[in-house]
Amino acid sequence: YEGANKIAWTVKVREGSNLIGLAPDALAAIDQVSEVYEKFNTSTRHLMNGSVEEAGLSDAALGHFRQLSQLTAGKNESITMKFWVQRRPTEFGPKVAEVIRENERADYKDIGSIEGRLQAIQDMGGALRIKIKDPLYPRAIECKLPEDMIESALATFRKRVEITGMIHYRRNGIPMSIEVSNIDVLPDDSELPSIEDVRGILAAS
């Protein structure tokens, strides 16, 4: 749950059973839990239908779905996996991993620039990943930097920047990653002239 109050979940297993249960904390608000259930069902349905964008999931969530889907890909035949939410089953299979992998592939690339704020994210392996968050796009865009630019990038974290380089796009036109060749620091919002300042400048001219 991505709201203000995160929900704690308890994982339940039984010896000799292939079922894994998830139970929300007893103090969790019913409307929040219902929202999680609805989001899960809707997102899973979109993924099974081949639509990653309509699923509306974060990159981390897509990674978890991909890993679960890969578990269903047996050597000779797929393994059946079902999610039961409020007593309603949803089948899940290897197709989801294929859909997510295909979505992650860049369709075309072009030189361009992206404005936003740099973020540092540590992946599951402990490696540092640098991304830029542009308000125009729902997800942060991965930045691929040469070794000699990492130090200068670290100095610009949380500042407004414009990065230039080769941008890799998905088929729907959304940037997926950028091979960074240059980073320019932009003025912060607090450093920009106010409306009164602009009026004064115009009046003086």
Which CATH class name applies to 106-190?
A: mainly beta
What per-residue confidence (pLDDT) applies to 122?
Answer: 61
The domain segmentation of the chain, as residue ranges, is: 9-103, 106-190
What CA–CA distances, in Å, run from 121 to 18, 126, 173, 187? Answer: 34, 9, 24, 24
Q: Which residues of the chain have pLDDT under 50?
A: 1, 124
pLDDT tens profile 23-39? 898 888 899 899 889 98
* C-alpha to C-alpha distance for 196 and 111, rounded to whole angstroms: 37
Q: C-alpha angle 158/159/161, rounded to 5°?
A: 125
What per-residue confidence (pLDDT) applies to 189?
Answer: 65
What per-residue confidence (pLDDT) applies to 154?
Answer: 86
What per-residue confidence (pLDDT) applies to 125?
Answer: 55
What per-residue confidence (pLDDT) applies to 204?
Answer: 66
Residue (of 131, 181, 182, 178) closest to 158 by Cα position? 131
What per-residue confidence (pLDDT) applies to 128?
Answer: 72
What per-residue confidence (pLDDT) applies to 161?
Answer: 94
Bridge partners (DSSP) of residue 91 are 82
For residue 203, the Cα-to-chain-centroid distance in whole angstroms is: 46
Helix 59-70 vs helix 30-48: crossing angle, to nearest 10 = 60
pTM: 0.53
